[in-house]
Structure 1
Amino acid sequence: MRTDRAKALAPALLGLLLGLLALGPALGPGFVLRYDMVFVPDPPLALPEQGFPRAVPSDLVVALLSAVLPGQAVQKALLLGIFVLAASGAAALVPSGRLGPRLAAAAFYAWNAYLAQRLLLGQWALLLGVAGLPWAVRAVVLGGRLRLAAALLPAAVGGFQAMLVSALVVLATAVTLPGGAGFPGGTGSPGRGGRGDRAAGGPPSPRPLPGAMTRVRRAGEAALVLGVLSLPWLVPALLSRATTDPAGVDAFAARADGPLGVVGSLLGLGGIWNAHAVVPGQESWWSAGVRLLLAGVAVWGFVRLRGDGPPVSAAEASEAGPPGSRTQALSPGPPESRVRSSSAGTQGRGAPPYRAGVAGAAVAGLGVACLGALAPGVLKALVGWWPGFGPLRDGQLYLAPFALLQALGLASAVRLLASRAAAVVAVAVPVLVLPTFALGAFGRLEAVGYPEEWRRIQTIVNADPVPGALLSLPWGAHRAFAWNGGRVVLDPATKLFARRVVWNDELLVGLPGGGRIRVAAEDPLAVRVGAVLRGDPERRAAALAGLGVRYVLEHSSENALHDGVPVFRGRELRLLRLDYPS
């Protein structure tokens, strides 16, 4: 029994070890601040602002957790949780009780170029949903709306990007499952907890629906769960007046991060648009070549993905015992400790029921990733027609299903080789291919402390009961502070105050050959404030107050306003109050 429990916990422990190795100095005292990863001390409980709700509801969840635990501890727990959740989830999907294949899937899914690049871009909320993808697939197979809702909670916390990636995989799995898959004995419905033709001591369950009707019903229920969990960000997005600039297609299109071109980079789970999010050494021939070779082996293994042991028919599975005694073949544990049912469509040596769905989602995600790079005109036309296509601009983030496919494919290859040496190599190779992801990508992720003046300004502003927005200057989205090691980070002021913060969400993205692409601001108020800042300096303060701005936070060396009441001045920051009627 202890051995079985140790095997069941092994993937999660491996994920924890990989997380400790990857984060390294990021686990020290302070906060990790890099690009979109902005955590602040004592974050306020604030409603979404007028722009697109990119940090909804993740900011609110962090604020709630920070009311109970120190903000530093919340960030570190979330980052480590990504690795543990990813590793244990990938292992839980492997249709084998053997520890080697399960650990191979766990290691690859918790340590790959996609996860590394997105973490270096600071997109922890997206990665939280990506880590929960295997659990969401498993929930679709097993059936039940509550089970699926629970599995999708990490993505729901992550917000719109995490939910969109999850929706791709969940819906593809739901519509491609065998007609009776997901319910013991091949029958029953999720509403009845996945029972067979007869529950022990109970009335007969409903007769199974035809395959097409079952798929439609399953997909509809999955879409309902996805829709409900998306409401926190979907409603503000629909109500906002945010716009989407088609120029973002060129700015956020996948790019080559090695010698194998854009497609080769994507096949190796790289290809991110930001060169500063590339793991050191990833651009070498050796790293790119081995990752492409791993991708080929993984695809081959995924095509041959099967379970252990002989096939089990639905009739045999229905006589395996009462529902309470059955353990799904997708669950971890040694083969002798499980009674296999046909709940996943085909078990034993048959292909797992999620294979077609994961494959379809991976192909679709890879297609979206290629679209912005190979056919940008199509995507620009879509974005220009409806801003709702804006999330497709950053196509590389939709490689998450392909990462899951590769993890499961490597597990299948290890099972086919049936060698302990192969299992050890498969667990070690992901780390050996990207060794510089370790120790916070060699210092690119490091915890630092906020200077005291940031806390003092936060206290002053949040204690003021008079309404009005805070304008953060200089007029740019990102900062590079000396106390943060010069690392680029989204302006922390956007998260620090319990009032509306106006900042320039316009982006300037550099191109590989030089030059920059300007992506227009999405927040209408930011556009109006930008026009004021370009206007007459003598009338600037009054015009800003007329737009509802009460405070202006700027660098101490600047003097963007010729008027205003000085409230605080430190070595780095200066706070002004605008006492004008709005």
Structure 2
Amino acid sequence: MTAERTRHLVAALTGLGLGLAALGPGLAPGFVLSYDMVFVPDPAFTRMTFGLTGIVPRHVPSDAFATALGTVLPADLAQKLILLAIFVMACTAAASLVPSRRLLPRLAAGVCYAWNPFVAERLLLGQWALLLGYAALPWVVAAASRLDEPRGGRRLVRALIPAAIGGFAALTISALTALTVALVTGRTGRARARSAAQVIGAVAGLSLPWLVPGLLRPAGLPEDGTAVDLFAARADTPFGTLGSLLALGGVWNGETVPSGYGAPATATIWLVVVVGALAAYWRWCREPGWRRGAAAAAAAGFVVAGLGAVAAPVLEWVIGLWPGFAVFRDGQQYAAPLAVVIAVGLGVAADRAAEARWTGAAAGAMAVPVILLPTLAWGAAGDLRAVRYPDDWARARQLIHGDPVAGDVLVLPWASYRGYPWNHGRRVLDPLPRYLHRRVVVNDAVTVDGTTVAAEDPRAVRLAPVAGTGTPAADTLRNEGIRYVVVDAETAAARPSGAAVAVLRGRDLAVYRIDGSGAAAGDGVRAGPAVAAWFVTSVLVIWSILPSGITLSLPLLGSIHPRGSKRRTP
């Protein structure tokens, strides 16, 4: 094994150790359910998996990836492997960017990138799909700076695959980073234009699985300018919003800030480390390929991250021009490229310390992120624990799946996030749309600090006036194609009124059947364009991972031939 491969292996093992330490009780049998992180036993591919039900396809293609992995492995094991892979990739990718042959500086960068407030807050928010793209971002930086080299496009697509799995938010952040690096590192105007075209082409091709169903939604792209203020970055340290963002914190949801984070003493030390790492990056990082590009991406990301907090009207105006720009509302996530620069800067500082034979300082640089954020350990101080779905859920699924009569499912009470007692009261996005294989209608409106972002699912919008009462009329639900109503059992007051048959009344769930339900209105997306989108993206991914001398021949679907070889003519 070469020395370089050994360094990569040690970085990967270090990342694995960090993942094991961070997940802690979440590694027990069962599922970690926290806010947007929803995994279910025995997942299945449904129309929802591919964004064909008419809802905004934010979960595409991450749900398909989780379902595929959960089909060949126990689903709870699949979740743990995905979460551990985030830490392994993050540590390995950041370590690979440090321009040093020494191991300690590389590990300092890897640990800093895998263990920081950004990772902790996004993990508690359950955004594992976003963190997949974050983990591979250092590889994206390196690949985007080498697009003018042979096979540069293939390297970029490969580096973008984790973000592509993560979906629209992860890929948007990676695209912004790659485009900035490509434009800054290009030597001539023509080279910059060619590199930018490669980035745009790669991102567009990898975006098709969620882009096509999103654009073809009958209801169009959702618009809600009020959400800018709700999801803008917020201060979680004594240094205000911008200072918190500089320290890689600033998440909009105060409930997902790690326990004890932001205390004046540790926050001050961490900010000094961050500023020192940025200074070290600027002074000592001499990597000619991506140095300026990564710095520019970090600056651009920081501007976007703070936009909603300091210039909300500007962002609202941009979203008004095209609703797709709403992807910039959750500002803190755009601090990701800044995390790359901070991690590399810390690694470079550790390298200078090692060069001066200050081995203790180099080792301290590796340990300081963990020391200053100890509450990420042990499942974020116990917040991330594995739980099992209650038996009532399994009985409800068996009953509903065993019914040959068509019809959808409505969930009461009318809310999108739940605080189940069996999940220790921790909020989680309602798992039933993934747990059941029928179309499940839930209230997808989100309420933050008393302000509600309007629902986006057309079915939810139509049913809200009656479902919001808690006792919707069975006749109305029947006309909307609802066959079953599932109610959290602790909310005894919620149930359909009229001719609804109680088929299950358990401690955790109650299920009511509405006989004679009719066909639901068609709000979905046609499968044909989505299938074509997946095919094109799959071809692009396969092309990127094939050996360099192999090319896919698109006219002859699936035929493979060495580059430069001649085809035989019959």
Asked if Structure 1 and Structure 2 have the same fold, meaning a TM-score greater than 0.5 normalized by the shorter chain, the answer is yes
Structure 2 SS opposite 1:574: strand
Partner of 2:173: 165
The one-letter code sitting in structure 2 at the alignment partner of 1:85 is M
C-alpha distance in 1 between matches for 2:483 and 2:42: 22
Partner of 1:207: none
* Aligned equivalent of 1:92, options 90, 96, 100: 96
Task: Tell me whether 1:292 sits opposite 2:271 in the alignment.
Answer: yes
Q: Is the 8 A contact 2:153 2:198 kept in 1?
A: yes
After superposition, where does 1:74-223 map in structure 2 within 5 Å? 74-143=78-147, 144-179=152-187, 211-223=188-200
* Aligned equivalent of 2:346, options 373, 396, 410: 410
Partner of 2:514: 578
Structure 2 SS opposite 1:521: coil
Q: In structure 2, do the counterparts of structure 1 residues 535 and 75 end up closer, same or farther at CA, with 3 Å as the change threshold? A: closer
Percent identity of the aligned residues?
Answer: 48
Deviation at 1:454, TM superposition (A): 0.8
User: 1:470-500: per-residue Cα shift (whole Å, max 9, x none)?
Assistant: 1111100111111111111111112112122
Structure 2 SS opposite 1:304: helix
The one-letter code sitting in structure 2 at the alignment partner of 1:541 is A
Deviation at 1:3, TM superposition (A): 5.7
Q: Is the 8 A contact 1:126 1:161 kept in 2?
A: yes
User: 1:18-39: per-residue Cα shift (whole Å, max 9, x none)?
Assistant: 1111111111111001100111
Q: Is the 8 A contact 1:305 1:352 kept in 2?
A: no
C-alpha distance in 2 between matches for 1:429 and 1:8: 21
Q: Is the 8 A contact 2:470 2:496 kept in 1?
A: no
Partner of 1:250: 229
The more displaced of 245-254 and 46-55 is 46-55
C-alpha distance in 2 between matches for 1:573 and 1:138: 50
Q: Is the 8 A contact 2:470 2:494 kept in 1?
A: no
C-alpha distance in 1 between matches for 2:10 and 2:518: 63
The one-letter code sitting in structure 2 at the alignment partner of 1:71 is A
Task: Tell me whether 1:422 sits opposite 2:361 in the alignment.
Answer: yes
Partner of 2:451: 517
The one-letter code sitting in structure 2 at the alignment partner of 1:491 is D
C-alpha distance in 2 between matches for 1:259 and 1:363: 22
* Aligned equivalent of 1:354, options 290, 299, 307: 290
- Poorly superposed stretches of 4+, deviation over 6 Å: none
* Aligned equivalent of 1:561, options 496, 520, 532: 496
Structure 1 SS opposite 2:363: helix
The one-letter code sitting in structure 2 at the alignment partner of 1:372 is G
Q: Is the 8 A contact 1:541 1:564 kept in 2?
A: yes
Q: How many residues align?
A: 502
Partner of 1:227: 204
Partner of 2:59: 55
Deviation at 1:85, TM superposition (A): 0.2
After superposition, where does 1:173-572 map in structure 2 within 5 Å? 173-179=181-187, 211-240=188-217, 241=219, 242-306=221-285, 350-417=286-353, 418=355, 419-510=358-449, 516-534=450-468, 540-556=473-489, 557-562=492-497, 563-572=499-508
Structure 1 SS opposite 2:42: coil
Q: Is the 8 A contact 2:412 2:467 kept in 1?
A: no
Structure 2 SS opposite 1:152: helix
Q: Is the 8 A contact 2:413 2:494 kept in 1?
A: no
C-alpha distance in 2 between matches for 1:426 and 1:46: 47
The one-letter code sitting in structure 1 at the alignment partner of 2:226 is A
After superposition, where does 1:1-16 map in structure 2 within 5 Å? 1=1, 5-16=5-16
The one-letter code sitting in structure 2 at the alignment partner of 1:392 is F
Deviation at 1:416, TM superposition (A): 2.3
Deviation at 1:467, TM superposition (A): 3.1
Q: Is the 8 A contact 1:254 1:271 kept in 2?
A: yes
The one-letter code sitting in structure 1 at the alignment partner of 2:453 is V
Structure 2 SS opposite 1:458: helix
C-alpha distance in 1 between matches for 2:284 and 2:461: 52
Deviation at 1:252, TM superposition (A): 0.7
Structure 1 SS opposite 2:335: helix
Q: Is the 8 A contact 2:116 2:373 kept in 1?
A: yes
Q: Is the 8 A contact 1:178 1:353 kept in 2?
A: no
Partner of 2:76: 72
Structure 1 SS opposite 2:155: helix
Structure 1 SS opposite 2:145: helix
The more displaced of 544-553 and 377-386 is 377-386
The more displaced of 274-283 and 146-155 is 146-155
Q: Is the 8 A contact 1:132 1:151 kept in 2?
A: yes
C-alpha distance in 1 between matches for 2:38 and 2:8: 34
C-alpha distance in 2 between matches for 1:567 and 1:153: 45
Q: In structure 2, do the counterparts of structure 1 residues 434 and 2 end up closer, same or farther at CA, with 3 Å as the change threshold? A: same
Structure 1 SS opposite 2:100: coil
Q: In structure 2, do the counterparts of structure 1 residues 455 and 269 end up closer, same or farther at CA, with 3 Å as the change threshold? A: same
Q: Is the 8 A contact 2:108 2:365 kept in 1?
A: yes
Q: Is the 8 A contact 2:412 2:494 kept in 1?
A: no
TM value normalised by structure 1? 0.83
Unaligned runs of 5+ in 2: 520-570
Q: Is the 8 A contact 1:25 1:446 kept in 2?
A: yes
Q: In structure 2, do the counterparts of structure 1 residues 464 and 151 end up closer, same or farther at CA, with 3 Å as the change threshold? A: farther
Q: In structure 2, do the counterparts of structure 1 residues 356 and 535 end up closer, same or farther at CA, with 3 Å as the change threshold? A: same
Structure 2 SS opposite 1:508: strand
C-alpha distance in 2 between matches for 1:121 and 1:33: 10
Deviation at 1:10, TM superposition (A): 1.2
Deviation at 1:534, TM superposition (A): 4.7
Q: Is the 8 A contact 2:412 2:470 kept in 1?
A: no
Deviation at 1:121, TM superposition (A): 0.5
C-alpha distance in 2 between matches for 1:4 and 1:81: 21
RMSD value, Cα: 1.7
Deviation at 1:536, TM superposition (A): 11
Q: Is the 8 A contact 1:265 1:288 kept in 2?
A: no
User: 1:286-317: per-residue Cα shift (whole Å, max 9, x none)?
Assistant: 121122111211111111243xxxxxxxxxxx
Deviation at 1:559, TM superposition (A): 3.7
Partner of 1:318: none
Structure 2 SS opposite 1:353: coil
Deviation at 1:97, TM superposition (A): 1.4
Q: Is the 8 A contact 1:305 1:351 kept in 2?
A: no
Deviation at 1:216, TM superposition (A): 1.0
Q: Is the 8 A contact 1:479 1:490 kept in 2?
A: yes
Q: In structure 2, do the counterparts of structure 1 residues 487 and 213 end up closer, same or farther at CA, with 3 Å as the change threshold? A: same
Unaligned runs of 5+ in 1: 180-210, 307-349, 511-515
Structure 2 SS opposite 1:157: helix
TM value normalised by structure 2? 0.85
The one-letter code sitting in structure 2 at the alignment partner of 1:498 is H
User: 1:378-426: per-residue Cα shift (whole Å, max 9, x none)?
Assistant: 1122223322121111111111000111001111112223232221011
C-alpha distance in 1 between matches for 2:465 and 2:189: 56
Q: In structure 2, do the counterparts of structure 1 residues 44 and 464 end up closer, same or farther at CA, with 3 Å as the change threshold? A: farther
